[in-house]
Structure 1
Amino acid sequence: MLRFAPSPTRSMNISDLRVAIYNYIVSKQKNEGLTVRIEDIEKDKIVEGKDKEILELLSLFSIDYSRAAHQSDSLKYHQKMAMQLMAQKKAFACFCGDVKLDELKEEAKKAGKPFKYDGFCETLSDETVLNTNAPFTVRIKEANASIRFTDLLQGDFKIKPLEMNSFIILNHDKTPTYDYACAVDDMIMDISTVIRDEKHLDSTANQIHVRKSLSYDKKIDYVHLTTIDNADEISVKSLIEEGFLPSAIANYIVLLGNKTPKEIFSLEEAIEWLDITKISKETLSFDMDKLKQINKKHLAALDDMRLSKILGYADTDLGKLGKIFLEDFSTIKEVKTKLDTVFAQKVTYEGYEKEFVEIKLCVQDAPFFENFEDLVKYVSEKTGFKDESLQKPLSFILTAQDDYSKLENIYPLIKNYIGEIAK
């Protein structure tokens, strides 16, 4: 079982989506299930509706999963296993308040060392603990041996006990901390492979230590993906709203840091050849211009009718027209805006105000013409205008731009809508 563990405290960003995509691909390659685990233990930071939004976005990207769960649903297991650790003297109640901990942090800072809990409460007797009414946290005891693990992408790691800490596993309100909750959840969900961003690499030893303390010895494979610069600031939802296709976004994300057999592909195709152990370990940069190029190619590959419906219409000719506009634009939003201006009412055309009025009235009254040349001949004969005086206003009336050179290709696609376009 693999898991994607997003936070409902903010919008899903490109880094999150990348983790989801790789978990999906590897789950298919290994023929294992994928669990979406919403990490909602920090109740005061949750943004209402973000969990639902996450699932909706995964659906848009066709990332299917075995089940969706909320981390808070496992609270009783988090607390039960903490009690087990305390009973086995592998964890202890800590009554140290913020003032005491701040003092220790300040001392460590002055000494130029990382903060490390001094273990004061670890030595308290059971009688002292029972007779103390103050609120307490629960800390796990330090590891007594080095924690070793192999990251399938980053290599081998060895974390010595001196580099670790007696970290908190239950807060004062008896809710679990991040590392502890993740470790327990990975146990009870029987997770075999953890794929996540490298920013979580430092927490891996803590999570392994929790599982070892609970006598859980199943090996979990780790893959920590290298960072993509500025990806945390790019909202997936905003990209969708700007008119990027999910297939194009996914294509570009997998393209980043990979040697792929071709530039344009689907996630289903990537399942066949992707090797997650060979992804680049270099820091990557998210290139919006490259994404636009990829998106343009995905839009161009769509069926004409499907593209037309995406643009808000239902005509293969308008889908073809949308593809003509892809010469200048690269997103659904841009193409739709352009297509909508074709159908929008045009009031005047600067520099050719008189010609504009007469040509527009002439087009409105004109019979249906199969060929563009016949329409031009008709309008010219009726109005007496020629060359620029005819071409620029006519082009603006029919396409909302004055590029007459494209009209011959565009006219066959809009000829059935001339009355509406020239209104």
Structure 2
Amino acid sequence: MLRFAPSPTGDMHIGNLRAALLNFIVAKQLQRPLMVRIEDTDTARNIPHKDQEILELLSTMGISWDQLVYQSANVATHIEYAQKLLDQGLAFYCHCTLEFLEEQKQRALQEKRPFRYHDAWAFLQQQSNPHPVVRLRGSTQALDFTDQIKGVIHFEPHELDSFVILRADKTPTYNFACACDDFTYKISYIIRGEDHVSNTPKQILIQKALAQVLGVAYHQITYAHLPLILNHETGKKMSKRDAASSVSWLLQQGFLPQSVANYLISLGYSPPKDVFDLEESCAWFNLAKLSGANARFDLAYLRHLNHKHLSKLTLEELQTLLKLDHPSKAKLAQLFLEDSSTLQELQGKLKAMFSPKDIRQDYEGENFYDHCYHLYRALQTLNLGQLEDFTHFKQAAMQASQLKGKDFFKPLRILFTGQAHGLELSLLYPFVRAFASEILVLKDVHGS
């Protein structure tokens, strides 16, 4: 079984979504079930309803799962496992206060050596600290594991000192809860971010200890740690401060789910074609061919992919996504795709066209109010139903308004679209004829 294990403590990061997508793909390829495990044991940081938002986002991205687990439901099992480890001497109580440990850390810093916990400290403060934590005994042997992306990763014994598995309030730490659940549910393949590499040896030690106290064979897990996603401009890790790191933000900006998936699967990979969907990628994606180098998130390239995916949509799909009340407006949206890359941009152009035009504002630093109003009054005298061809309409409108050149075309574009630039007016004219009562409307002409 594979698992995707998000925490409901904030917006889903593109790095998390990348891990979810690749877990989904590999699960499909190996024909193994996929679990979604909501890691909600850190109650102080949990945000209400974030779990549902995560699940909805996964569904939106086309990711399905076979089992849903909330980690908080397993806390009793975690504590039971910890007690078994204590009973058999693989874990022990530690009475060290935070102040004592901080003092030891500062001493190590001053002596320019790595800080390591020493088991001999465990009972030094037993009298003054009646609320101990529980630590798993560290390893006296080196530990290796083979990462599917990074190759063999090695840890020396001095890097594997005893570590906390239950806090003083008897709640499980992240590593202990995670390792216990992976052990309980027989997770066999873990795909997650590079920032978890340092957690892996601890989780392996926990699982080996659990196998020993429960009298079962240790089942080795296959690991793949995904490289970081960096900001294209700064070269630094994408953080919550980067708006584009939020999956919700990308969708709100009008990027299609299939475009986001397409891009994240492509990061650090050479797909057989640039534009594809999640289902297609299951046929050819090979995790072993994913680059081990950090990838840079380029919003401009995502816009390019999004434009490609938008162009593939049917009229019906476009009408639904843009919530349009008429199929012809979807045809108009297809025209606007010539210089639009997101749903938000399309919606902006459509809204400007179908909203009352504010001819009092400046366009390109100029005020076209007089010419716009004069042309608008002239258009009221024309029967657009009888002027099917744009050329005939243009001739009639020029004659009725006595305007020409820039004085005619700029106000006409403003009246048609509410914007100073855009598509050829001849392309837009059939839609203006069809929806003249919605398009040829002025806003507050008399300042009312």
Task: Give yes or no for the alignment of 1:75 onto 2:75.
Answer: yes
Query: Which residue identity is paired with 2:334?
Result: K
2:137 corresponds to: 141
Establish whether residue 183 from structure 1 lines up as the match of residue 173 from structure 2: no
**Which amino acid in the other structure matches residue 391 of structure 1?**
F
Conserved in 2, the CA contact under 8 Å of 1:15 and 1:232? no
Q: 2-side partners of 1:421 and 1:223: how far apart?
A: 55
Counterpart position of 1:221: 222
Q: Report the equivalent of 2:263.
A: 252
Aligned to 2:326: 315
Answer yes or no: is 1:151 the counterpart of 2:158. no
Deviations 1:39-98 (A, max 9, x none): 111111112221111111111101111122211111011000000000110001111111
Structure 1 residues 180 and 384, CA, compared in 2 at 3 Å: closer, same or farther?
A: same
How far apart are the structure 2 equivalents of 1:183 and 1:82? 12
Q: Distance in 2 between matches of 1:404 and 1:282?
A: 41
Residue 220 and residue 414 in structure 1: after superposition, are their counterparts in 2 closer, same or farther (change >3 A)? farther
Closer/same/farther in 2, CA of residues 181 and 378 from structure 1, 3 Å limit: same
The Cα of 1:404 is off from its aligned counterpart by: 8.0
Corresponding position of 1:358: 374
Is 2:119 the counterpart of 1:119? yes
Find 2:252's aligned residue among 235, 241, 266: 241
The amino acid across from 2:115 in the alignment is F
Q: Which residue of 1 aligns with 2:287?
A: 276
Partner secondary structure for residue 431 of structure 2: helix
Q: Secondary structure at the match of 1:212?
A: helix
Q: CA deviation at 1:122?
A: 5.4
1:373: how far off? 2.2
Unaligned runs of 5+ in 2: 212-216, 232-237, 361-365, 442-448
**Counterpart among 187, 195, 198 of residue 202 in structure 1:** 198
What are the Cα deviations for residues 92-139 of structure 1, in whole angstroms up to 9, with x where unaligned?
111111122112212221222222111125579xxx98x998111100
C-alpha deviation, 1:362, in angstroms: 3.2
- CA gap 1:217/1:389 in 2 versus in 1, 3 angstroms: same
- Offset from partner CA, 1:318-338 (integer Å, 9 cap, x none): 223223223322111111011
Contact 2:2–2:23 at 8 Å: present in 1 too?
Answer: yes
Identity %, equivalent residues: 37
Cα distance, 1:84–1:361 mapped onto 2, change above 3 Å: same
Runs of at least 4 residues of structure 1 off by over 6 A? none
SS of residue paired to 2:271: coil
Secondary structure of the structure 1 residue equivalent to 2:424 = helix
The answer to whether 1:162 aligns with 2:163 is: no
Q: In the alignment, is residue 334 of structure 1 matched against residue 345 of structure 2?
A: yes
SS at match of 2:435: helix
Matched, 1:26 2:26: yes
Aligned length: 419
SS in 2 for 1:43: coil
How far did residue 300 of structure 1 move?
A: 1.3
1:302-330 deviation per Cα after TM superposition (whole angstroms, max 9, x unaligned): 11232133223133332232232233221
What is the CA deviation profile of residues 206-261 of structure 1, one whole-angstrom value per residue up to 9, with x for unaligned ones? 10000111125112100001111133331111111111111101111111111111
Would the alpha carbon gap of residues 237 and 155 (structure 1) be closer, same or farther in structure 2, given more than 3 Å must change?
same
Q: Which of 398, 405, 408 matches 1:390?
A: 408
Distance 2:24 2:67 in 1: 13
Q: Distance between the aligned counterparts of 2:283 and 2:254, measured in 1?
A: 28
Structure 1 residue 359 displacement after superposition: 2.0
Instruction: State the match for 1:290 in structure 2.
Output: 301
Counterpart residue number, 1:415: 433
TM-score normalised by length of structure 1? 0.94
Could you tell which deviates more after superposition, 302-311 or 344-353? Answer: 344-353
Compared CA separation, residues 377 and 269, structure 1 to 2 (3 A) = same
Matched letter for residue 86 of structure 1: L
CA-CA distance at 1:375 after TM superposition? 2.0
**Alpha-carbon distance in 2 for matches of 1:358, 1:33:** 68
Change in Cα spacing, 1:310 to 1:365, as seen in structure 2 (3 Å) is farther
Mapped to 1, the partners of 2:129 and 2:173 lie a distance apart of 22
TM-score (norm 2): 0.89
**Cα displacement (A) at 1:361:** 2.5
What displacement does 1:400 show? 1.8
Q: Distance in 2 between matches of 1:54 and 1:232?
A: 18
2:382 maps to amino acid: A
1:4 corresponds in structure 2 to 4
Q: Does 1:380 align with 2:376?
A: no
User: SS at the partner of 1:341?
Assistant: helix
Identify the residue that residue 343 of structure 1 maps to in structure 2.
354
Secondary structure of 2:239's aligned partner = helix
> Contact 2:96–2:122 at 8 Å: present in 1 too?
no
Describe the SS at the equivalent of 1:149: strand
Matched-pair contact (CA < 8 Å) for 2:194–2:227 = yes
Contact 2:148 / 2:222 at 8 angstroms: preserved in 1?
yes
